[in-house]
Structure 1
């Protein structure tokens, strides 16, 4: 075994050490996600989904499946350090086999929420 020092960055997760504890976030992963989706200039949303929002209640046009699946997969990975989006990501992942325009709009709303605070993460004391 070889001592490699303190963890700084691993699998898209950044680690920072302080007297308060260990802070992990995926700031770079979030920013890369915005670049990939060309959403750097998108609006900001304070909540990831509107209250009483029904994603699957109405019919809407079918969208490209692979793009939606890729985005939802990235959001699932991101929810490991962002528990505030875990519920809404689980909701949009239910439609991964038959995504509609309305579901993509919900994913875009999650991205708008992430834009409001890309540096959020978890602090382990």
Structure 2
């Protein structure tokens, strides 16, 4: 539920994420395993498929973000508008991915 507010988070959303992270830290061995590489490097991989949907010609985009080599967020979605070129589809996808990276960066700055 928290991920739906990632593009305009408020203090209550950061508090909820902090509670989730605190819970995960206190419950090792409960199904989630994160490796500790000794750094918090944030990486993202982003791609788009220009006019990939043959019905409405809208592009599909996706991204995944890693913190310290651990997958933390991902999304795959159709664009709301029809892109006029591959460059426009890729640009829109990169914009979504950068928003995600900035959200994660802000979250990490608040937590650490």
TM (norm. structure 2) is 0.30
Greater RCO, CA 8 A, separation 6+: 1
Higher strand share: 2
Task: Output the TM-score relative to the length of structure 1.
Answer: 0.28
